[in-house]
Amino acid sequence: MFESKIKAVSMTLVAFALLAFSYQALAGSAHLTWNANSEDDLAGYKLYYDTVSHAGTCPTGYAQSQLTGNVTSYWFDHLTPGQRYYFQLTALDTSNNESGCSTDPGEVSKLVTFRSDFNNSHKVDIFDFAILSANFNQTDCGNVADITRNCVVDIFDFAILSQEFLGEF
């Protein structure tokens, strides 16, 4: 009886360790939102981004771009924490014509931090664990502690936070 309890506890710990280390941390992220265009033939948007400013020269010069579809927000993942990124937006119509870059507000920038840095202290610490713990099992798709964006704060979010714990820049 005692052996079976030890075996069960050992199996649980092994399963949790595998889960924690197999779930990839998302590193740094940036969430951008914008107002929708009102054209009837709007197909979507294209976000340009780079680690250096290209204000006034958009879209030329930007290292990368991302098609977003017809949405008004987008998450960039796998960015480098501690790095400043610059973003610029264009619109695409159903004939695949691209607008000029947005002028209001124009190019925006963000200093990227870790996904699990909920309090924006530029490090993942015990306070971030407290925020995640307070939100555990919440099913709000906009919850700041929902790192995986699966609309529930769960063990997968803890796994990512534990991988980024004590990360700072």
User: What's the pLDDT score for residue 96?
Assistant: 92
User: What's the pLDDT score for residue 136?
Assistant: 96
What's the pLDDT band for 12 if we cut at 50, 70, 90? very low
pLDDT at 50 over 60: yes
d(CA 31, CA 25) in angstroms, rounded, equals 17
| Lowest mean per-residue pLDDT among 28-32, 107-111, 155-159 | 28-32
Q: Is the pTM of this model over 0.85?
A: no
Q: Mean pLDDT score of the chain, rounded to an integer?
A: 82
User: What's the pLDDT score for residue 5?
Assistant: 47
Q: Kindly provide the b/e burial profile for residues 117-153, where b requires at least 16 CB atoms within 10 angstroms of the residue's own CB.
A: bbeeeebbeeebbebbeebeeeeeeebebbbbeeebb
Q: Which CATH architecture has domain 116-169?
A: Orthogonal Bundle (1.10)
d(CA 10, CA 137) in angstroms, rounded, equals 25
pLDDT at 163 over 50: yes
What's the pLDDT band for 104 if we cut at 50, 70, 90? confident
User: What's the pLDDT score for residue 16?
Assistant: 43
Which CATH number among 2.60.40.10, 3.30.390.30, 1.10.1060.10, 1.10.287.470 corresponds to the domain 28-114? 2.60.40.10
Q: What is the average per-residue pLDDT within 47-70? A: 88
- What is the residue extent of each domain of the chain? 28-114, 116-169
